[in-house]
Amino acid sequence: MLRSYSHLLIACIFIIIMQMLLPFSGFCYEKGVLHRVVYFNPDVTIEDPIAAVSAMKPFTNFIGKKLGVQLEPYFFKKQVDLDRFIESNKVAFGIFSQMYIVENFRKRSFEPIAIVLKEGQPYYRKVVLVRTDSEFQTLADLEGKVLATTALGDDNIPFLNKVVFRGEIDVNTHFGKLTVVDSANSAIMAVMYKQADAAAANYLNYVFLQELNPQVRKQLKSIYTSAKTPLPGLVYFKGNLPQDLVDTAIKEMLIMHENPIGAQTMLAFQVEAWGPATIKDWADTARLLDISLSDQPVPKAKPSPEPDSVKTEQIQAEPEKPVEKEKPSIQFKRIVAIDNPEENTITVRAVITQETPGVDPSQVQVKYSISSGQSGTVKLEPGADDNFSGLIKLPAVDASQGAQKIEYTIKPGDTMGKIAKKLLGDSRKYMLIATFNKIENPNVIYAGTKLTVISGEFSGLDIDYDIVAVDKDGHQFQSRPKFISVIR
């Protein structure tokens, strides 16, 4: 009994001391004010909102203490639930997907202040992978086939269709079956072990697995790579927060990865760091969705003025004949780029259907630009059945500039951020090192541990290309822009 009273006395003394110190700590909460933080992500495997909120708690607690306010997290997987909550509650901050930001920044009156960074970049790419021994060469070849992918919520499908796949396919109807897995790596391995025909995965996951498992490089190939897709962002709701609090939030978010505790709390979102952001960071997404980001909405075309009223005799007009739309003489039915790593080239093939007057076979070419700075045109040679093909020669990889493996031994006082800054030039790339070395918690490392670090930029090249053809009457036709990433 005496021991219980002594414990109670100690607890009371502790509470009194904390109440005395709290006003001087700089972390005191504003009494009676609750600032809500909403997190919307339709592409997560977490079904239980309570589990998602629990994962968010360390993050909101950390930022709340830095701001001196109380932040309460809420998680939503369906947009209808999110919208209903925002309409009936005062919300301070939101972590939203690209598509939601672009479609709702005006309607919901919020403004982006930070964007997620992965490996130091504010964007990612999706790739569609198949086995090298398969005959699949384009998305069209996968019609009716099995696709392995991560969680697909109803709100995620429009984003995949419009932004990732750029309207080329409808995910819901194109594939015969969608096999949902828990991670991009699981999707890739499903194709490796012939449990699926193809996998939709993050490009960087593909890069990592190629480095870690030579069989991935040998047995898998990419037949589609999306363009750069901005990552989700953090927004604040205008009018719901004082500006000085917003400014402090921006400052703290940008240095959060340098704090071991802050970095740990971000892992719940698979976020490695935050970068500064404005709505313009999602300009490409807005373009694909036909949404203007300017303050002024896109002006609608004015109707042509009615002609002056003139009194005339009524004449029986002949019925108008339907105007037939002129069919183009050239149509691009199938375009594919194939990586040839041994020759360091890209084979570009195009199937061009022809009507009279037909294509001029001497004037079919591919225009290309490479992320390393080179650009040019290559003539495509005619083959059988309306096929044209040619080779794009890629620049030789300079060993001094390309990716190199470095062995590094952790020293006393090292952090993953310091190591990333020293070897990669950017402390925000610490997760690149942690992922490659299978370190589950980058905040817990031990002196003497040997690390393998891939220096330089990712060992890859991005090639943008399109086909230009001229018919025999001299009319020029151009295909839609295409894209491929290759790894060297």
Contact 60, 95 (CB under 8 A): no
Domain ranges of the chain: 27-121+231-288, 126-226, 330-397+461-487, 404-456
Integer Cα distance of 265 and 56 in angstroms: 8
**Residue 304 predicted with pLDDT over 60:** no
Q: What is the pLDDT of residue 88?
A: 94
Give the tens place of pLDDT for each residue, 345-360.
999 999 998 887 889 9
The set of residues, in sequence order, having a beta carbon less than 8 Å from that of 421 and lying 6+ positions away, is 427
Crossing angle of helices 243-254 and 49-67, rounded to 10°: 110
Q: What is the CA radius of gyration of the chain?
A: 28
CATH number of this structure's domain 404-456, picked from the four choices 3.40.50.360, 3.10.350.10, 3.40.390.10, 3.20.20.370 = 3.10.350.10
**Residue 428 clears pLDDT 50, i.e. is over it:** yes
Region 297-313: mean pLDDT is 39
| Count of other CB atoms within 10 angstroms of residue 379 | 12
Domain 330-397+461-487 class, CATH top level? mainly beta
Class of domain 126-226: alpha beta
Q: How far apart are the first and last CA of the chain?
A: 72
DSSP conformation class of 118: B
- Give Cα 53 to chain centroid, integer Å: 23
Identity at 337, one-letter amino acid code: A
Q: Which residues contact 111 (CB under 8 A, 6 or more apart)?
A: 105, 235, 236, 238, 278, 279
- With CA atoms as reference, report the closest residue to 380 among 350, 425, 409, 413: 350
pTM value is: 0.64
Domains 27-121+231-288 and 126-226 share a fold: yes
Question: Could you tell me which CATH number the domain at 27-121+231-288 has?
Answer: 3.40.190.10
As a whole-number percent, the residues of the chain with pLDDT over 90 amount to 30
Phi, psi of 419 (to 5 degrees): -65, -45
Residues 446, 334 contacting (CB under 8 angstroms): no
CA distance 293 to 141: 36
CB 205 within 8 A of CB 222: no
pLDDT (tens digit per residue) in 246-291 = 999 999 999 988 888 888 788 766 777 899 999 999 988 888 888 8
Can you read off the two tokens belonging to residue 385?
A: 């059945």
pLDDT digits (tens, 9 = 90+) for 471-484: 888 899 999 888 78
Q: In this predicted model, what pLDDT tens digit does every residue of 327-382 receive, in sequence order?
A: 667 888 888 888 887 888 999 999 998 887 889 999 999 999 987 788 999 999 99
Tokens 């490479």, residue? 370
